Amino acid sequence: MRFLKKGDDKKPKSQSGSETKGHPDLKVISGSQISGQQPQQQPPPQQQQPQQQNITLPNIKYKIAVASGKGGVGKSTVATNLAISLANAGGAVGLMDADAYGPSIPTMMGIQEQPKVSPERKLIPLVRHNIKLMSIGFMVPEEQAMIWRGPMLHSSIRQLLSDVEWGELDYLIIDLPPGTGDVALSLTQAIPLTGALIVTTPQDVALADVRRGVAMFERLGVPILGIIENMSYFLCPHCNEKTEIFRKDGGKNTSERFGVAFLGQIPLDAEVCTAGDIGVPIVAGHPESPQSEAFGVVAQELETVLEESDDEDELTIL
């Protein structure tokens, strides 16, 4: 067990590329134009990949990654509904879709258009359900999303952070692709994250995946803020009876095992799925439903963890 002082910058330095290509509207913002560098200030060709520097985003209080060891456990669903719950509780919230291999947040939030570029050549986030939204999916055609080259991916993640008019935010929720890959690395190299949330399902088999996720963030020096168990139980829409379809309390037991906070359980529910498909997340469409209440509990628990960490100014990681 070791303690990490909040805001510590222990991220490794790396090289960045400048090859982002994508939607025609967005091409204009790549490279030196955004950073305000004049041509004469550019490094000579052999140094075109400068030393990485962290982006600080001082106007964003909490930068939180949503991750999982494996795919399809509900990261994007949780990220979306959690963001809206935090906004409903009065927070100013941004949602960044960093899933380069399957960006799904625009669909889940009901967004079809592309972001516009401001006169200062910054991307203006789209706003839906009171959330500011940007997606890496806006930067490449859909069919290209599976063939990212390392530097291009790295550069796009940085663009989503530094070249977007996020404004003042309490929370920036960042939806990651599944597993332990390049995107998480690029993200942690770019900004000091407040911490990461791990989404899991209750089965025993998910345990190993959670362990991998926790280990990755530990290696990257990012505190784990908590575990969220999704698809925990089936809530009968007729009689409200709970049925534990998978194993009971797997996520809770896992969080105890890893010594991290357990933030709550989200029911397995057809409405949650449909709501994501039609672009009106359940917390936005049915804020009074038991499913939305479950997301509200997670948001509250997260706020508590963050307040405690503010008080102590340090977070415990494994």
Ligand X SMILES: Nc1ncnc2c1ncn2[C@@H]1O[C@H](COP(=O)(O)OP(=O)(O)OP(=O)(O)O)[C@@H](O)[C@H]1O
**What are the b/e assignments for 69-81, b being 16+ CB within 10 Å?**
bbeebbbbbbbbb
* Residue 29 near residue 134, CB atoms below 8 Å: no
CB of 178 to ligand X, least distance (A): 4
Nearest-angstrom CA–CA distance, 79 and 82? 5
Residue 99 engages ligand X in binding (rule: CB under 6 A) = yes
Residue 186 engages Mg ion in binding (rule: CB under 5 A) = no
Nearer of residues 76 and 114 to Mg ion, judged by Cβ: 76
Q: How many helices (H) and strands (E) does the chain have?
A: 11, 13
Q: Is the C-alpha dihedral spanning 69, 298, 175, 163 positive or negative? A: negative
Supply 113's token pair.
């258009």
Supply 6's token pair.
């909040």
* Residue 145 near residue 137, CB atoms below 8 Å: yes
Chosen residue from 12, 43, 71, 237 binding ligand X by CB under 6 A: 71
Binding map of ligand X across residues 104-123, x = CB under 6 A, - = no contact? x-------------------
Neighbours of 147 (CB within 10 A): 9
Q: Say which entry of ligand X, Mg ion, none residue 254 contacts (CB below 5 to 8 A, set by partner kind).
A: none
Q: Which stretch binds ligand X (CB under 6 A): 5-13, 66-74, 136-144, 252-260?
A: 66-74
Supply 58's token pair.
């001082």
Nearer of residues 75 and 129 to Mg ion, judged by Cβ: 75
Nearer of residues 63 and 75 to Mg ion, judged by Cβ: 75
Nearer of residues 147 and 270 to ligand X, judged by Cβ: 270
* Residue 294 near residue 82, CB atoms below 8 Å: no
Residue type, 162: S
| Number of chain positions touching ligand X (CB under 6 A) | 21
User: Looking only at residues 31 through 90 of this chain, which bind Mg ion when binding is defined by CB under 5 A?
Assistant: 75-76
Q: Say which entry of Mg ion, ligand X, none residue 229 contacts (CB below 5 to 8 A, set by partner kind).
A: none
**Residue 164 gets which letter from DSSP?**
B
Chosen residue from 250, 276, 281, 296 binding ligand X by CB under 6 A: 276
Chosen residue from 86, 92, 153, 268 binding ligand X by CB under 6 A: 268
CB of 255 to ligand X, least distance (A): 18
Supply 11's token pair.
């991220």
CB of 34 to ligand X, least distance (A): 28
Residue 75 engages ligand X in binding (rule: CB under 6 A) = yes
Supply 294's token pair.
């479950």
Residue 73 engages ligand X in binding (rule: CB under 6 A) = yes
Region at 281 (left for phi over 0; alpha for psi -120 to 50; beta for the rest) = beta
CB of 137 to Mg ion, least distance (A): 11
| 109 burial type by CB count under 10 A (0-12 exposed, 13-18 middle, 19+ buried) | buried
Helix (H, G, I), strand (E, B) or coil at 288: coil
Chosen residue from 157, 164, 191, 231 binding ligand X by CB under 6 A: 231
User: Looking only at residues 168 through 187 of this chain, which bind ligand X when binding is defined by CB under 6 A?
Assistant: 177-178
CA-wise closest residue to 209 among 93, 73, 7: 73
Chosen residue from 102, 221, 285, 287 binding ligand X by CB under 6 A: 102
Nearer of residues 201 and 309 to Mg ion, judged by Cβ: 201
Note the residues at the interface with Mg ion (CB under 5 A): 75-76
Note the residues at the interface with ligand X (CB under 6 A): 68, 71-77, 99, 102, 104, 177-178, 230-231, 266, 268-269, 272-273, 276
